Structure 1
């Protein structure tokens, strides 16, 4: 079975409403269709790479290709895990957690997107809380980083709720204009002080070597 060769296909994160896991090919197609229908107001661009500025068919295809490319480039020293987010059994978005030299740095980064019709319901907070639990409780991370443009108020609201603190800025050129990217840092202590969403993790131990950690 595929999970025997790549145990991350067995990993499951669960919150009161959501399940996060790697998608099957059919579920990946469903995710692509969600993205093609829109993940943000077309008047703004919340991503460093403006992948959603393409025609809908290209947006959908880019979701599939990006997912495959992340898995194909995987090494224990540098990895990016794009977990599909399921609400009531339907794919609604993607929550990413990534790291470089995690066994040494004990730092992860996160990013995400969510279909527009599912926004404003607390799902973004719940899905990020799931991967933060994976990072801190499951993997022993010391800190997590994220960033969002200054006008991405929804993302900043999620970060504040989960305990992130400002960690400097970057100046970016997005759609030919200056955009301020606000960096954010979450320490293990702040995560522990702010966590309120219960999360369960299944089948993590077989994945540890792929994440750069020794099995217990």
Structure 2
């Protein structure tokens, strides 16, 4: 599977790229929002001009009564603010809607992660509400709020 956006390509993480992604997820600007995963299996590498610059993942709820997909992403700080994360999320969202048939997508950034929230709004995600004490901050051990955002298929930009 390879998905091409305007600026990035999404493809499965290959062997040897775990170390690259591990370095990225430990950058202070990334680690503020992400804890290092046990492995990167099932994630898609975000590639720009041949360089792995981050990863995106999705999860699927297939129960017909609650069918939806969720997205999560991280990029190296060196490429923040360039529209690459927005392109990656939009590219994956289009695939989830058009190829996997989801009518609703969710994303749940930390409520304090204003840059991520702005990026997701550009794709068409809308705030649903604050999920209080949603996730534990892996650095401080304190519970942090998250903003639940969703996107309906017809709203995808």
The verdict on a shared fold, with TM-score over 0.5 as the criterion, is yes
Are 1:67 and 2:40 counterparts? yes
SS in 2 for 1:16: coil
Counterpart pick for 1:26 among 13, 16, 19: 16
**How much is the aligned-residue C-alpha RMSD, in angstroms?**
2.1
Cα shift at 1:177: 4.1
Match for residue 46 of structure 1?
Answer: 33
Change (3 A) 1:21 1:41: closer
The runs of 5 or more residues in structure 2 that have no matched partner are: none
4+ aligned runs moved over 6 Å, structure 1:
none
Match for residue 185 of structure 1?
Answer: 150
Query: Greater RCO between the two (CA within 8 Å, min separation 6)?
Result: 1
Larger Rg belongs to: 1
Query: How far apart are the structure 2 equivalents of 1:131 and 1:104?
Result: 23
Query: How far apart are the structure 2 equivalents of 1:22 and 1:176?
Result: 31
Equivalent residues, number:
153
Match for residue 14 of structure 1?
Answer: 4
SS in 1 for 2:16: helix
TM-score (structure 1 length as normaliser): 0.64
Cα shift at 1:178: 5.1
SS in 1 for 2:20: helix
- Decide which structure has greater helix share: 1
Match for residue 52 of structure 2?
Answer: 91
Query: How far apart are the structure 1 equivalents of 2:142 and 2:121?
Result: 27
The runs of 5 or more residues in structure 1 that have no matched partner are: 1-10, 52-58, 69-80, 196-216
Give runs of aligned pairs for residues 1-216 of structure 1, distance below 5 A: 11-36=1-26, 38=27, 40=29, 45-47=32-34, 51=35, 59=36, 62=37, 65-68=38-41, 81-101=42-62, 105-172=66-133, 173-174=136-137, 175-177=140-142, 179-191=144-156, 195=157
